[in-house]
Amino acid sequence: MMTALFLLALLAVGLGCAYFKTSFLTWSIATAAVLLGFSIAGQPGWILLTLFWLLFLVIAIPLNHRPWRREFITGPVLKGFEKMTPQISETERIALEAGTVGFEGELFTGNPRWSRFIKKPLHELSTEEQAFLDGPVEELCGMINDWEFSHYRAGVSDEVWDHLRKNKYFGMIIPKEYGGLGFSAVAHRAVLEKVGGMSSQIGSIVAVPNSLGPAELLLHYGTEEQKNHYLPRLASGEEIPCFGLTSTTAGSDATSISDYGVVCKKKVDGKQVLGIKLNFEKRYITLAPCATVVGLAFRLYDPDGLIGETEDIGISVALLPADTPGMEIGRRHFPLNNPFPNGPIVGKDVFVPLDTLLGGVEHAGKGWRMLIESLSVGRAISLPSSTSGGAKSATLATGAYARIRKQFNLPIGRFEGVEEALARMAGHTYAISALSRQTASAVDDGEKPAVPGAIAKYHCTEQSRDIIKDAMDVHGGKGIILGPKNYLGRAWQGTPIWITVEGANILTRSMMIFGQGAIRCHPYVLKELEALKIEDDEERLKQFDKLLFAHIGHSISNAVRAFILGLSFARFAAVPGDRRTRKYYRKLSRYSAGFAYLADIIMLTYGGKLKQKEKISGRLGDVLSQLYICSAMLRRFEHEGRPAADQPILAWAFHDAIHKIQTAMRGVIDNYPIAWIRPFLRIVIFPLGRIERAPNDRLGHKVASLLLSPSETRDRLTRGVYKSDACGHWIGVMEKLLPDVIAAEPLERKMLKAQRNGQLKGYTSDEHIASALEQQVLTEKEAEFLAEVRERVMEIITVDDFELEELQAGISKTGEEIRNGDQKAA
């Protein structure tokens, strides 16, 4: 009995110190106190006590006596660490230093400070920004005719271009002192969300100048002369920018671009001019066909030492007018029948003066840093916001359509198969919206969220792909027949585009999210790598020793925390929240500890080879991503005042994410290379087994039902998208019809009952209603109302058809004819 008590006391001390992450000295004192207490009592026997005293002294003395620890432990570990750790290239170092670390760093600690996170308010729109959304953006959405733009024009109308210029859409991020709007990141997001929900073409046109483009680069790196010249022109739309990064031989590996420039002299107008001779072949460049100024990335060489002593200066950026002699620009790509302006830029022996270098000669060779820092901000806003708008529009439309469209005398939204799709759409839309707002708010906090930006880009585009797939399934034939009445087809066609641009999703998941996050966000790894650069041997050993044992304590603590929290359903975790949400924070605390521990084990096992283990890195990236998404959803829920009616959607999205975390962790453990360690990892991470389940059918039914009727929850879920029924906007038409369809359902039930009783005569809908009126099944007012609703429903569910000549020669129609025809149809 005493032996068991003795061992239990030692175990409790060890686990307690590890759980609360105490120092080695604290553990040593506590353990010594236990040993001393039992020694005084003479229990559980001198042989066992002596054995444990010896074991304790062998461990405690070297760990607490730092000179011995550094000589016998840290020194050999440092040598091994230097051998197994690859040298970080300049390119990788710049990428790691480009971003900042926000809440994602808390997830790597294994013990996030939830109260601090959720108490920090999300940024709101200013009065001026809200007025812009309610005025010019609402007006723009009313001007959008996606069928006209995509089928007949292969581009947007002059009317839209004029509106964009007049209202300074291209200058949202440009400060007012240069003539721009000076909007916040959340306002930038709100505009892209609303416009992107209407048209991906116009969404792209608005997004690019405010993302990775000359304006962003000029603001941070341009000379005063360049800023004063270009920024006012960009803000007013006098100049339309594009940015040429992707080349024929370099896509995702942007640093290997073959486009180059050579510093040289050339006689121009009788004068010797120092400049650059450029050769480049760019492709996939958005806005290139209509651009007037081109930002160009290329590798700069100075073989004659005209501007310095280095020959290979590195990646640089220049600003070139589109009419620069020798540059070919204007031709178009045609990405999946989505004709937003996108095309190649080619130049051969193009000579430009040296002052075209963005930021001047002093910024020559710093292009990669400039690009990666700008991209970390742009990636966090552009595609997440646009896809959030698309997801909201698709979810809004599908919920309404599923109530309006009936089969077997029931709204199709009442069928369980359709309910599954609707629940997924609602849950994913909630997650996407929360995530995109979280990253935009982080930008307004002054962050450059490189890792969250990658998370947002990947998961917003992936989940929006799932949403549009479900929307197409629910709509059936209505979704696949293109024409003025189709509001889904172009979004379905364009989905692979957003998966590909700004870093292909496969690369983003398998190499960037965890690959960068593991070093950049980990509390110790980057510091340990930096310690290796210390030239003084003694100081390097001292700093590395401090970091190494802090890192060891961190890993042990997270292993113990993961095990205890998993065993106790995280009831010991100190978390905020109410009765419903506290359990969510507890789960996240548990899996954050498990993730942090698993990340350390994987990095220790693979070292520098982790770069090549993309499947493992991708799964750990999934865990990090879902933890971050859950955090964003909870922050949104708290910010909105914990609306009880929204809780089913939050619950569905949360359980879906947690189940994905469990699946990803299982994949990491099952593929761990050392087989005999796998059972230990399973016990630590899943002490009670894999108990997480995907959202159940009952919860899915609740969530799907929320999409089928107007409510505050449905409004909050789809807030920010265009809902007007003006100009034949079919989603707005359905929204206006939806309450009347619901009001007509009791009348439809009366009609069905009368028909089954043989009371109704005739074959058509009108004949049935007339018969119902005659048989007093319906009153005159009810009959008129039902006839009107049925007529409006038929307008919704009908699809377009064309003469062959219309499809072959549609371009011969004028924009006015197209608009008049569409408005008549609506």
The residues annotated with a catalytic role in the active site are: 502
613: Cβ contacts below 8 Å, ≥ 6 apart: 606
Specify whether the CB–CB gap between 334 and 316 falls below 8 A. no
Q: What is the DSSP string of 802-824?
A: --HHHHHSGGGS-HHHHHHHHHH
Structure tokens at 798: 């009908």
77: Cβ contacts below 8 Å, ≥ 6 apart: 548
* Residue type for position 312: D
Q: Give the distance from CA 125 to its chain's centroid.
A: 21
9: Cβ contacts below 8 Å, ≥ 6 apart: 34, 38
C-alpha to C-alpha distance for 25 and 35, rounded to whole angstroms:
15
* Residue type for position 164: L
* Residue type for position 484: P
- HSE value, Cβ hemisphere, 13 Å, CA-based, for 72: 11
Backbone angles phi, psi at 649, to 5 degrees: -70, -45
C-alpha to C-alpha distance for 227 and 210, rounded to whole angstroms:
15
486: nearest Cα among 470, 465, 472, 467: 472
H-helix or E-strand containing 350? strand 342-353
Long-range contacts of 672-681 (CB under 8 A, 24+ apart): 672/601, 672/602, 672/605, 673/605, 674/605, 681/598, 681/601
Residue 407, beta-bridge partner list? 410
Specify whether the CB–CB gap between 327 and 320 falls below 8 A. yes
Compute CA distances 85 → 76, 536, 549, 605, 607, whole Å. 14, 19, 18, 12, 6
Helix, strand, coil in percent for the chain, rounding step 5: 65, 10, 25
C-alpha to C-alpha distance for 455 and 435, rounded to whole angstroms:
9
Specify whether the CB–CB gap between 704 and 419 falls below 8 A. yes
Radius of gyration, alpha carbons of the chain: 31
Decide the pairing of beta strands 312-321 and 293-301. Answer: antiparallel
C-alpha to C-alpha distance for 453 and 440, rounded to whole angstroms:
9
Decide the pairing of beta strands 260-268 and 271-286. Answer: antiparallel
Tokens 């050392």 sit on residue: 674
- HSE value, Cβ hemisphere, 13 Å, CA-based, for 401: 27
Residue 764, helix vs strand vs coil = coil
Specify whether the CB–CB gap between 570 and 591 falls below 8 A. no
Backbone angles phi, psi at 765, to 5 degrees: -60, -45
307: nearest Cα among 265, 279, 349, 267: 265
Beta strands in 215-325 (DSSP E): 241-244, 260-268, 271-286, 293-301, 312-321
369: Cβ contacts below 8 Å, ≥ 6 apart: 94, 97, 98
Backbone angles phi, psi at 261, to 5 degrees: -135, 145
* Residue type for position 248: T
Q: Give the distance from CA 126 to its chain's centroid.
A: 24
Decide the pairing of beta strands 260-268 and 293-301. Answer: parallel
Structure tokens at 48: 């066992």
